[in-house]
A and B are shown apart, each in its own frame.
Chain A
Amino acid sequence: MAITDTTFIARSLRARLFSTVTTTAIVALGVALMLVLLAMRDAGEKAFSRGRGNMHMLISGPQQDPMVTVLNSVFYTGTPRNYLRWDQFEQLRAKYPFEWAIPTQLGDSYRGLPVLATTEEFFSRFQPADDTPWSLAEGRVFDKPFEIVLGADAAKKSGLTVGDHVFLTHGTPRHGEKGHVHDEFSYTVVGVLAPTATLHDRAVFTDLTSAWILHAHERREEALGPDAGKTGPGDLLDSDKKITGVYARVLTRPGASVGAAFQQVFDMLRRDPTVTVAAPDQEIGKLFSIVSNVDRIIIALAAVVLIVGSATIMLVLYQAMEQRRRQIAVLRVLGCSRRRIFGLVVTESAVIGAAGAVVGVLISLAGSRIVAGQLYQRLNLVAEPTPEPRVVLAVVLGTIALAAIAGLVPAVAAYRTGVIRNLRPIA
């Protein structure tokens, strides 16, 4: 096989194997970091957007931060601070042109899994993700008090199945704390939902009445002591009927995502001091605009790693040039032009950049999977980090270009190598 430019470049890279591998690794790290961040940013935003499903707005108790209410009520990050009374909910439902308005209450838990008390409409009208209605993997949805339905992940984590009986815990105890268990009321698992790839998968669902009874029972026990007996629906007072949120969708023409009345309804509710209204889409957008400031910094850091990688290529090649001056001089005598020498060095630099970029892409694919796995394990956030081919291509080409630019300095040094000076006999 003839000696070609590829041979010269390959031999040069092989002659400095350690520095070739090191510089490639640095470039790969920068590329991987950047691609993982870009992929995760998009996937995270999609995952959050997906969780709000087909609701238009979330209405909750007064004087709360809209973003916090969305995070609490839709993404189960905590328990809402204030509540709405049932009669308030009925008034809201009657007053505004809602296609549907579903009451929800958060506050109890089962072995750390959040319990969402709601109505059957939650399964028939609300869709956890756009165009993805609920479906059951097993059993049915609840149709009477003290029945529960498990989200797909909640079933997996708890090991419960249809027919099992459980007791719920008041609030969500912190790690290591025991919490108050409502052991007076046993719940029966009647269904397990199919996975939806949203945070709802880690929730346990029950009906509102049983949630109210649990807390009414506490009230009655405090007031009546052992004479309280077992609390039933008939013992409920209006003050027991509290909810923490309303998932609402305004009337919308078929095919449209948001109804024309949305803005008007939203503005009116915003002016109402007795409620807090939030549009999940907007709040998620706000959240990501805050996060994007942070990830811009991280992406900038990844870019710095890439630039440092390119600078390393430059230094390594420059140093190599110093050692290869005699070789360059010999090649010149053999008929190699200055331009070709220049091209060889720039290409060698670009090859290191390309190798780093390819390795970086491979690492980023694995890295994204690991980060996505951690997000799912820790937050139940189903992120699908599929790197956009356009973005990957841009990062790869950008890296190669950056490496080629880094090769210019050693290439100029090689171009200017004095042939005569470097051909003096070796002592």
Chain B
Amino acid sequence: MQSPALAIENLGFRYPGQREDLLGITGLTLDAGEQILLAGRSGMGKSTLLHLILGLLEPDRGTVLVAGENIHALRGPRRDHFRGTHIGMIFQTFHLLHGFTAIENVMTAMAFSDIPKAEHHTRAAALLDRLAITTPDAMPERMSVGQQQRVAVARALACDPVLVLADEPTASLDPENAGGAMDLIQNACRERNAALLCVSHAPSLVDRFDRHESLADLNNAASGGA
């Protein structure tokens, strides 16, 4: 049986100096290709949860399994490599690399993977073409915000991740463009059978997802369940 793209069990986390857990999630599972919207107010720990899934923070307890692998059990470069090859990340403000063209930004994601170097350019070009980027050699800072987001989506999908994390992906966009951007992210993930965990507090996104969760409901820390 295929492992779920993401499986969180008994996850607990608090920042140093905090008296109570910020996060206390009993369980959350995301199957391959599944898409979920995780809503929550600012400061509830949405970004912290993403950082825990990415393996950038260490949980105080519990496990985070990505494609069946406990990411926190991996150490040093192995964890970095696993993150790069299994998880795609779309940032609110894209974080495209300056001094690198659109296609180079996409290829950068493959630079840390096991994908043969000879395939990098072809794969990146195909991805950008699929996402309607007609000027792959343009510098991102010369592109429109919408185009930049498409480049960011292409970069997140470059290594065929099992899981894509999107952190407030529409926060930088006006409502008209926000819809288009979400179409793009969701369709691209569906095409590649990548699970999508979208973290947002935008109510307009609720209808786009079959499954939504509230971090407040998942997070039993406040109720002392942790």
Chain A interface residues (CB < 8 Å from chain B): 1-4, 7, 11, 14-15, 326-327, 329-340, 419-420, 423, 425-426
B95 interface neighbour in A1, A2, A14, A330, Cβ under 8 Å: A330
Closest to A326 in B: B95
Q: Are A2 and B93 in contact (CB under 8 A)?
A: no
Using Cβ atoms and an 8 Å threshold, which residues of chain B touch A329?
95
Q: Are B98 and A327 in contact (CB under 8 A)?
A: yes
B209 within 8 A of partner (CB): no
The CA of A420 and the CA of B55, in the complex, are separated in Å by: 11
Using Cβ atoms and an 8 Å threshold, which residues of chain B touch A339?
76-77
CB distance from B84 to the nearest CB of A (A): 2
Closest to B117 in A: A2
CB distance from A385 to the nearest CB of B (A): 42
CB distance from B140 to the nearest CB of A (A): 12
CB distance from B100 to the nearest CB of A (A): 7
Q: Are B108 and A331 in contact (CB under 8 A)?
A: yes
B113 within 8 A of partner (CB): yes
A-B contact pairs, 18 of them (CB 8 A): A2-B110, A2-B121, A4-B117, A14-B99, A15-B98, A15-B99, A329-B95, A330-B95, A332-B80, A333-B56, A334-B108, A335-B82, A337-B80, A340-B77, A425-B91, A425-B92, A425-B93, A425-B168
Q: Are A11 and B84 in contact (CB under 8 A)?
A: no
Using Cβ atoms and an 8 Å threshold, which residues of chain A touch B107?
2-3
Chain B interface residues (CB < 8 Å from chain A): 51, 54, 56-57, 76-77, 80-85, 89, 91-93, 95, 97-100, 104, 107-113, 117-118, 120-121, 155, 159, 168, 171-172
CB distance from B200 to the nearest CB of A (A): 13
CB distance from B201 to the nearest CB of A (A): 13
Q: Are B54 and A11 in contact (CB under 8 A)?
A: no
Q: Are A334 and B100 in contact (CB under 8 A)?
A: no
Using Cβ atoms and an 8 Å threshold, which residues of chain A touch B120?
2-3
Q: Given known contacts A2-B120, A3-B111, A3-B120, is B85 in contact with A335 (CB within 8 Å)?
A: yes
Using Cβ atoms and an 8 Å threshold, which residues of chain B touch A333?
54, 56, 83, 89
The CA of A141 and the CA of B80, in the complex, are separated in Å by: 85
For the complex with contacts A3-B110, A420-B56, 11 further pairs of A-B residues with Cβ separation under 8 Å are A3-B107, A4-B111, A331-B112, A334-B84, A334-B111, A335-B109, A335-B113, A339-B76, A423-B91, A423-B95, A425-B91
Q: Given known contacts A15-B99, A425-B93, is B121 in contact with A334 (CB within 8 Å)?
A: no
Q: Are B95 and A336 in contact (CB under 8 A)?
A: no
CB distance from A186 to the nearest CB of B (A): 79
CB distance from A341 to the nearest CB of B (A): 10
Using Cβ atoms and an 8 Å threshold, which residues of chain A touch B109?
334-335
Closest to B168 in A: A425
Q: Are B97 and A335 in contact (CB under 8 A)?
A: no
Using Cβ atoms and an 8 Å threshold, which residues of chain B touch A338?
76-77, 80
CB distance from A227 to the nearest CB of B (A): 96
The CA of A340 and the CA of B108, in the complex, are separated in Å by: 14
Q: Given known contacts A420-B56, A425-B93, A426-B93, is B121 in contact with A1 (CB within 8 Å)?
A: yes
Using Cβ atoms and an 8 Å threshold, which residues of chain A touch B118?
2
CB distance from B67 to the nearest CB of A (A): 15
Q: Are A336 and B91 in contact (CB under 8 A)?
A: no
CB distance from B181 to the nearest CB of A (A): 15
Using Cβ atoms and an 8 Å threshold, which residues of chain B touch A337?
76-77, 80-81, 112
The CA of A319 and the CA of B155, in the complex, are separated in Å by: 28
Q: Are A330 and B117 in contact (CB under 8 A)?
A: no
Most chain A CB within a 10 A radius of its CB, from B80, B110, B155: B80
The CA of A81 and the CA of B43, in the complex, are separated in Å by: 96
Q: Are B83 and A11 in contact (CB under 8 A)?
A: no
The CA of A337 and the CA of B55, in the complex, are separated in Å by: 12
Using Cβ atoms and an 8 Å threshold, which residues of chain B touch A420?
51, 56-57
Using Cβ atoms and an 8 Å threshold, which residues of chain B touch A426?
93, 95
The CA of A426 and the CA of B80, in the complex, are separated in Å by: 24
A330 interface neighbour in B56, B92, B97, B159, Cβ under 8 Å: B97
Closest to A336 in B: B112
The CA of A76 and the CA of B108, in the complex, are separated in Å by: 69
CB distance from B33 to the nearest CB of A (A): 22
The CA of A4 and the CA of B110, in the complex, are separated in Å by: 10
The CA of A337 and the CA of B93, in the complex, are separated in Å by: 23
CB distance from B211 to the nearest CB of A (A): 25
CB distance from B130 to the nearest CB of A (A): 20
